Structures are given as C-alpha cells and as structure tokens.
Amino acid sequence: GENVEQHPSTLSVQEGDSAVIKCTYSDSASNYFPWYKQELGKRPQLIIDIRSNVGEKKDQRIAVTLNKTAKHFSLHITETQPEDSAVYFCAASIYSGAGSYQLTFGKGTKLSVIP
C-alpha cells in the first residue's frame, strides 16, 4: 500500500477562505514532514516543514500540524490568495533500508483559489 496518502486530490476555495490539506503516513519512525508547492511548469519549492518533536508550526498564513499518535499531518492556508493556486505535495521520511531514510511524497493536491 501507499506510504503517504494525501487528500483531497483537488480543492477549490474562494479567495480569502481557508484551505486544509491532510496527509497520513504509515512508518511510525518517520520524523520529518515537509510540504512543497509546485506552480505549473515550475520546480517544487519547500514552503514549510515540521519535525516530529513539534506539534505545530506557523509561518504567516501557512501552518502545519502533526499528530504523531494518529500518524497524520495537515497544511493550513488562511486568507487564501490567487497566487496560492498550485499543486501541494506533502512528504514524509520513510525508512528505506540499511539505516537510511528518504522522502516519500503524497500524490499531490491541486489547489485553485477563485478570485
């Protein structure tokens, strides 16, 4: 099965409303959870990340929450603006064998902010 599940796959919100994207992971040893934003035709860019010893992190209009017990984490965008429209990928550190970890990405959420 998938190591990182992301929902929803598409999300449309009115400008000024909030958007929430949720991810779950399977490896209880995962300890790092970044979120990337990818605009059409551009590179993925890190927008926020959270480590397993923190429950919540905020950066202006963007926040991420982590529930280690339930193995899920969420991205919250408040006061959305048209320039927030993009595909958002969550990721989690997944054990890849031989004592090493690598990032596994969720399938992405296409966020559309309607002016």
Applying CB under 8 A, the residues found at the interface with another protein are 31-32, 34, 36, 42-46, 49, 51, 87, 89, 93, 96, 100-103, 105-108
User: Strand, coil or helix: what is 84?
Assistant: helix
Residue 16 beta carbon to another protein: minimum distance, rounded to whole angstroms: 27
Q: Which residues contact 18 (CB under 8 A, 6 or more apart)?
A: 76, 77, 78, 79, 80
Residue closer to another protein (CB basis): 73 or 89: 89
Do strands 109-114 and 10-14 pair parallel, antiparallel, or not at all (unpaired)? parallel
Residue closer to another protein (CB basis): 72 or 78: 72
